[in-house]
Structure 1
Amino acid sequence: MTTRAEAPVARHGLGASLSASVAILCVNLVTGVLLARSLGPVDRGVLAAAVLWPTMLGVVGTLGLPEAVTYRVARDGAVRPVVLWTAAGAAALQAAGFLVLGAAVVVAVLAPHASASLGPALLFLGEIPLAIVSLTFAGMVNGRSRHTAFHALRLLVVGVTLPLLLALELAGALSVWTIVAVYLASRIVTAIAACRIAWPTGAAGRPEFDRALARELWSYGLRSHASGISAHLNQRVDQLAVSAFLAADRLGTYVVAASLNSVGWLVGVSVGYVALPTLASTDDEQHRRELAEQFVGLTLLMTIAVALPLAVLAPTLISFLYGDAYHEAGNIARILLAAVVLYSASRTIEAILRAVGRPLDAGLAEILALVATLVAVAALLPALGLIGAALASVVGAATGVTWMLRRVSLALDVPAWRVALPRPAAVRAALRRPSR
């Protein structure tokens, strides 16, 4: 078990995670501008609806297996062959089941209201098994604290996508169908790479599926996944509602407004990737408290530092980057940036709860947040349109982070304000090079 002096806290893990997030952000910005300007609001909305549902189902279909594998490998200190084979078998079973379920859901949801998105969405159902497999094996890599390899996998999927999209644009062949094909190609490459890194040739031993271990992984995963599903839905339910009830150009505008969110949201995701294996690998309760304060404080300070200038410049940035056709997205983006500060903190706190063996606490918080978001969407979307959808996101995010802070306070026996209030000393500690 990792000691306090050896804990792989900050500079290497956080540096790799945040560097990958910045790179992903830059690539996504270029990709988003390219698609928005080439497709226009209507086709941009068609594309968003086509990829939104399979992507959501791919995340849901993991059933928390990636987090369970990360936790198990971090606790074991190594990847044992039985864990490799059992996780692979569990991922295959889940992929098959959710592929069938996904086809039924996509047809039921898109056929009545968004028929132009139905064909591309059916093609993109391949995202479901690819996501389950790649995320599961990436979880093993993260559990071993192989930060560079893990974050290289995160970057690979967008790194493959951008040059292919640019080539299609230069060839005059960029369309909803070809974009979906490129997305699938990038996910295939990422899935192969994840399997290869986590499962080197000749290193996995004899095939062995341990049913008891599978039940253990599913038990942890399902408890953890309550938060994963709800968190993903919380960040997408506004877009799902817009795709189901408003015209395609409305969704295209809303997606552009939400694109600025990724700047802040990736901070919490990046810190959370490091927080889970770091806290899980130490049994020192006092050290866990210190780490929790460090990680959450760092997340909040960095997210606020990014979100404030973006909120001020949002209308100007959107018109400059995406074009005047999306001018309405500026004020919507400002509201969503308020929500993203809360969402970012939630991702880190959720990772901390998982690391101390309390995945269900995070799940309950996200369920409450999802209920609050759904109620707010139902009340505000018909009256206020896209502005109402954005305000609903703020309501849901505030509900979730409040509950999570209370649960982490009880789990670590630390006042909630110490976790929630960014303190310079804690942030500096998070960024220190680990002592040897």
Structure 2
Amino acid sequence: MKRTLSAFAASGLIQVLGFFTGVVTARVLGPEARGELASIMSVTLLGALIFSLSVNEATVYRAARAQDRLELTRVITASAALSVGLALAAILAVAFWQRWLLPSALWLPAAVFLAIIPLNYLAQLCVAFAQTQLGAGQWTLLRITPPIVVAGAATAFLGSGLQLSPIAFLLAYLVANVAVVTLGVTMFNRQRYILALPSWDDLRSLAWFGSRVHTSTVLLSSRDHIDRIIITIMLSSASLGQYVAAGSLASLLLLFGHTADLIMFPAIARALDQDQARQRFCEFTRASLLLIVVGAVTLAAASERLTLTLFGPSFTDAASIAPLMIAAAAVIAFKTVLASGLKARNAPMRIAVIEAVTLAIILFLTPALVSQFGAYGAAAGAVGAQSISLIFLVYAVRHQFSCSLQELLVVQIGDLRKLRAYLARRDDA
């Protein structure tokens, strides 16, 4: 229970700090430089994601199943060796990719940011080790360190009053990952493990497991970068800066989905039979839908004033884009709720297939809309792609849980009360 609460608190804090950093970054840099920063980060991080082979998830799996300390150290050293090898390949590929996608003025800061690839791989390895072998507090500390460091740097930049370029924020992200690696290595050394060289079987086992889950991981995570890369290619950096600012405001809604996932996943996974799982899933889904709709309507109604107040008067276009981005975020949050039920009933591949459909729609729809309507078209494409994939996801959960649309979507008076009662019973337990 302590680990679940720590995960919940950490996820909430990470979301809030991410929003705060987005606001401060926009105010410090302005629309054009904010767009340049987003371009560099999306191009680099998407490449890093593709080459990562989900080694961190494979490490969690293998470390959790290790029979003794010697096997555990072999898993850790094998993961580190594999991460370094993949990082070298990623750096070469992403460096070429940067030259192709980014304007020449951004090549130097983008080259500096390539250092994020090995640092991020090793930071994820440290978090994976802590997740399975250390206490909830140490795991949470490693998870929240990067957003705290970046938010602190952004605050210092804002307080300095200096006219800064994107490279200052890129360096902050590098420092944040260095901090995680340093903390992780220190925690590992305090456990007094004796390092052991990995065998070929250790490397092969990690690569094989990682490759099996990697496709779904890429599909789920790449949506945050694809639309930004399309705007990078087709529009100005200032347009991307406006789009990113609107997305930062809309990201507040994602906290509803992540929170519901943390509650629903264990609750449905622990269900004794299909009927109990179905009942819990429908009740939690309806309660989550109510909260998401209320949050979305409230945020959309205040979006123009919030955008101009938080990001500044130079983000007037972001204020008009924000309602569309809020609609897309509301759909994503509700999709997260539905996907939690499928994961809990051991049907993750259905999610991967649906996200593949989402990505295909984005790749087809977004360029066409951007060419006609600019950043507004990208926002409209996000709403359309996520809404279409939501239809497929609703069909999947109806088939999985044998429930009707009314049971899923028509909110009942007692749904929030039942959710509160369930959480109270979990707290007592």
Fold shared, TM-score > 0.5 on shorter chain:
yes
Distance (Å, rounded) in 1 between the aligned partners of 2:135 and 2:284: 19
SS of aligned partner of 1:63 = coil
Distance (Å, rounded) in 2 between the aligned partners of 1:319 and 1:397: 27
- 2:403 partner letter: P
User: Kindly tell me: are residues 365 and 194 of structure 1, through their superposed partners in 2, closer, same or farther at Cα, counting changes over 3 Å?
Assistant: farther
Note if contact 1:42-1:248 (Cα within 8 Å) is conserved in structure 2.
yes
Distance (Å, rounded) in 1 between the aligned partners of 2:283 and 2:193: 37
User: Kindly tell me: are residues 178 and 238 of structure 1, through their superposed partners in 2, closer, same or farther at Cα, counting changes over 3 Å?
Assistant: same
One of 32, 35, 40 as aligned partner of 2:30: 40
**TM-score normalised according to structure 1 size:** 0.82
Note if contact 2:14-2:147 (Cα within 8 Å) is conserved in structure 1.
yes
Partner of 1:242: 231
Structure 1 residue 274: Cα displacement? 6.2
One of 171, 179, 183 as aligned partner of 1:189: 179
Task: Identify the range of structure 1 (175-184 vs 87-96) with the bigger mean alpha-carbon deviation.
Answer: 87-96
Structure 1 residue 383: Cα displacement? 1.1
One of 283, 292, 302 as aligned partner of 1:303: 292
Note if contact 1:70-1:142 (Cα within 8 Å) is conserved in structure 2.
yes
Distance (Å, rounded) in 1 between the aligned partners of 2:44 and 2:286: 34
Structure label with greater radius of gyration: 2
Note if contact 2:256-2:292 (Cα within 8 Å) is conserved in structure 1.
yes
CA displacement 1:77-97 (0-9 Å, x = unmatched): 999653553255235424432
Note if contact 2:66-2:72 (Cα within 8 Å) is conserved in structure 1.
no
Q: How many residues align?
A: 422
User: Kindly tell me: are residues 257 and 88 of structure 1, through their superposed partners in 2, closer, same or farther at Cα, counting changes over 3 Å?
Assistant: farther
Partner of 2:382: 393
Q: For 1:61-100, what aligned pairs fall within 5 Å after superposition?
A: 61-70=51-60, 82-83=71-72, 85-86=74-75, 88-100=77-89
Structure 1 residue 313: Cα displacement? 0.9
Note if contact 1:45-1:249 (Cα within 8 Å) is conserved in structure 2.
yes
Whether 1:105 aligns to 2:94 is yes
Distance (Å, rounded) in 2 between the aligned partners of 1:54 and 1:285: 45
One of 216, 223, 226 as aligned partner of 2:215: 226
- 1:167 partner letter: A
Note if contact 2:39-2:232 (Cα within 8 Å) is conserved in structure 1.
yes
- 1:241 partner letter: I
Distance (Å, rounded) in 2 between the aligned partners of 1:79 and 1:302: 45
Tell me: higher relative CO, structure 1 or 2? Use CA pairs within 8 A at least 6 residues apart: 1
Structure 1 residue 384: Cα displacement? 1.3
One of 49, 60, 70 as aligned partner of 2:39: 49
Unaligned runs of 5+ in 1: 1-7
Distance (Å, rounded) in 2 between the aligned partners of 1:299 and 1:419: 11
Structure 1 residue 396: Cα displacement? 2.1
- 1:27 partner letter: L
Distance (Å, rounded) in 2 between the aligned partners of 1:306 and 1:123: 39
Distance (Å, rounded) in 2 between the aligned partners of 1:320 and 1:122: 34
Unaligned runs of 5+ in 2: none
- 1:312 partner letter: A
Distance (Å, rounded) in 2 between the aligned partners of 1:409 and 1:45: 40
Structure 1 residue 338: Cα displacement? 1.1
CA displacement 1:175-212 (0-9 Å, x = unmatched): 22222111100111123334555x46335455264655
User: Kindly tell me: are residues 28 and 283 of structure 1, through their superposed partners in 2, closer, same or farther at Cα, counting changes over 3 Å?
Assistant: closer
User: Kindly tell me: are residues 228 and 293 of structure 1, through their superposed partners in 2, closer, same or farther at Cα, counting changes over 3 Å?
Assistant: farther
Whether 1:431 aligns to 2:423 is yes
CA displacement 1:221-270 (0-9 Å, x = unmatched): 43433222112222322111111211111111111111112211233234
Note if contact 1:315-1:330 (Cα within 8 Å) is conserved in structure 2.
yes
Distance (Å, rounded) in 1 between the aligned partners of 2:279 and 2:62: 23
Note if contact 2:80-2:122 (Cα within 8 Å) is conserved in structure 1.
yes
Structure 1 residue 385: Cα displacement? 1.1
Partner of 1:322: 311
- 1:178 partner letter: A
Structure 1 residue 130: Cα displacement? 2.4
Structure 1 residue 41: Cα displacement? 1.4
CA displacement 1:58-78 (0-9 Å, x = unmatched): 33343334444455667x599
User: Kindly tell me: are residues 127 and 426 of structure 1, through their superposed partners in 2, closer, same or farther at Cα, counting changes over 3 Å?
Assistant: farther
Note if contact 2:31-2:238 (Cα within 8 Å) is conserved in structure 1.
yes
Whether 1:180 aligns to 2:143 is no
Distance (Å, rounded) in 1 between the aligned partners of 2:285 and 2:420: 12
Distance (Å, rounded) in 1 between the aligned partners of 2:67 and 2:290: 33
Distance (Å, rounded) in 2 between the aligned partners of 1:407 and 1:151: 33
Give me the CA root mean square deviation: 3.5
Partner of 1:415: 403
**TM-score normalised according to structure 2 size:** 0.83
